[in-house]
Amino acid sequence: MPRRTTSVGRCMAQVAMVMNLDKCIGCHTCSVTCKQTWTNRQGTEYAWFNNVETRPGQGYPRGHEDQDKWKGGWRLDGRGRLVPRSGGRARRLARLFANPELPSLDDYYEPWTYDYETLISAPLGEDLPTARPRSLIDGRPTAVTWGPNWDDDLGGGPEHLAGDPVLRRMNDQVALEYEQAFMFYLPRICEHCLNPSCVAVCPSGALYKRIEDGIVLVDQDRCRGWRMCVSGCPYKKVYFNHSTGKAEKCTLCYPRIEAGEPTVCSETCVGRLRYLGVLLYDADKAGEAAAVPDERDLYEAQLDCFLDPDDPEVVRAAEESGIPHDWITAARHSPVRDLITRYRVALPLHPEYRTLPMVWYVPPLSPVVDALTRSGHDGEDPANLFGAIDTLRIPLDYLAGLFTAGDPAPVEAALCRLAAMRAHMRRINLGEERNPDIARGVGMDEHSIEAMYRLLALAKYEERYVIPTGYAVDADRDADPGDGCSLEGHGGPGMYDADAFHAPPVAAAGAPKGGLRDRINLLNWNGRGRPQGLFPPRGDEGGNR
């Protein structure tokens, strides 16, 4: 990273994520562990804080990248100033009660379940019992016609996949045919943007970006359920809980992050492709960066916001902002920073939304050699490799449509570095001499290409996740620490009121009786107390024993 010459503005710290799509196997473990942990509750059945999309595909909710339709993110107005695409405040206020840019349940999907009970309780009949599908919304029998992952693994056929907004915006026609088939997976969570449009459009001020780590959250008390955030978020990563009437979204697992633990989606990622780390950035520059006129400059502009934690001036600014030493150290060891700014292999998702997203992606490399050898070249020769990156099975323009507002150059550069790493390491693997030209060819040296290899290939746990534990912003550093155990204060952990100690368990809230709602299933459990039916009945209720 080049040393800064201009003075540093307000230095902020952000816990950011990089996903290496080149390693993603599309297994959806992240989606399932996230859903199990956070959203298998009534009101959020349809919500997936983390989902994985097969690309090309329409994604979830359907066609969410079509901002002509959904009006998410920011745009520049006639005077070159940032305004929410959904319009100015007045326009938004005018639409509070009828927001046409809100995805419907059909765009997400209508969650369903099955008549599972019939499998064991069916009376003697004519045929085998089967559990037919039922809507989880109204309890009526339903036919499954759409889901959160409908086009998984290219399901749906070319006609359906042609509805992919990124594909539609490409200049070249892409053939969706057997021989030319290509796909990759795109796991998505909230981007925890530097310039979050969801926060900007909330009429109640319920959305906020935490100062200490940049996590964007919904204050469950302030939220009034206007749902402007749902349409305002161009990534469609804010959801409306139809049971509580409030917005919910990915929390970056802050109870874990605060404890120095990776998010659930990261730690459970069996592809080992997620990285979490601290980035320091200049908050005063973010607005300017988000407003650069040419959307193809947004990637570089955002890079320019990031601060070098080895720069003494940055360190001073960070300390001034109350960022603890451990966080600055973490920023120095940040794998996310390495992938984004040092090796420049990670790219932002849809920078053209101008939200300055903070979950970045290493684009998928493969397969290259196939295309090369078809054209009669030796795919193992690095010289050929770089010349042919644009013959990738995955069209470069498609990736550029996702990561660089259509500019293929940064994508190509990232892929070349990955390809060079493979070529460099293959020589070592086969016991041949290193060839420094390979690294030089992509603007790196042997040491850095091997360090990048270490981070991408070995990806040891403590190098993937460099997360300092949480700190309190503006904590009074001179306060009297007291003379006892930190747990001993009134209301501290383990300090119970006499009454509360013997209180009966809290009953599950909000589970109406009868029909599907009464069934025993974690979907309608709010995480508190002992919901009815989860346990064997006590005493005689159990019957025959």
- Of the pair 38, 235, the CB lying nearest another protein is at 38
Output the CA torsion sign for 98, 101, 104, 108.
negative
- Of the pair 130, 469, the CB lying nearest another protein is at 130
- Of the pair 359, 392, the CB lying nearest another protein is at 392
- Of the pair 192, 424, the CB lying nearest another protein is at 424
Q: How far apart are CA 42 and CA 528, in angstroms?
A: 13
Smallest separation, CB 206 to another protein (Å): 9
Smallest separation, CB 526 to another protein (Å): 8
Smallest separation, CB 409 to another protein (Å): 23
| Three-class HEC string of 188-234 | ECCCCCCCCHHHHHCCCCCEEECCCCCCEEECCCCCCCCCHHHHHCC
**Those residues with Cβ within 8 angstroms of residue 195's Cβ, 6 or more apart along the chain or in another chain:** 74, 82, 286, 287, 290, 354, 355, 356
Which tokens in the block code for residue 500?
A: 């509360």
Among the listed residues 298, 297, 22, 76, the one whose alpha carbon sits nearest the alpha carbon of residue 185: 22
Q: How far apart are CA 253 and CA 248, in angstroms?
A: 13
- Of the pair 2, 431, the CB lying nearest another protein is at 431
Smallest separation, CB 475 to another protein (Å): 10
Burial class for 113, CB neighbours closer than 10 Å (0-12, 13-18, 19+): middle
Smallest separation, CB 22 to another protein (Å): 7
Among the listed residues 78, 151, 143, the one whose alpha carbon sits nearest the alpha carbon of residue 112: 143
Where do we find the tokens 């109350």?
322
Smallest separation, CB 483 to another protein (Å): 28
- 3-state DSSP call for residue 278? strand
- Of the pair 26, 408, the CB lying nearest another protein is at 26
- Of the pair 111, 406, the CB lying nearest another protein is at 111
- Of the pair 194, 330, the CB lying nearest another protein is at 194
Burial class for 68, CB neighbours closer than 10 Å (0-12, 13-18, 19+): exposed
Smallest separation, CB 438 to another protein (Å): 11
Q: How far apart are CA 342 and CA 353, in angstroms?
A: 24
Smallest separation, CB 315 to another protein (Å): 20
Contact between 289 and 21 under an 8 Å Cβ cutoff? The reply is no
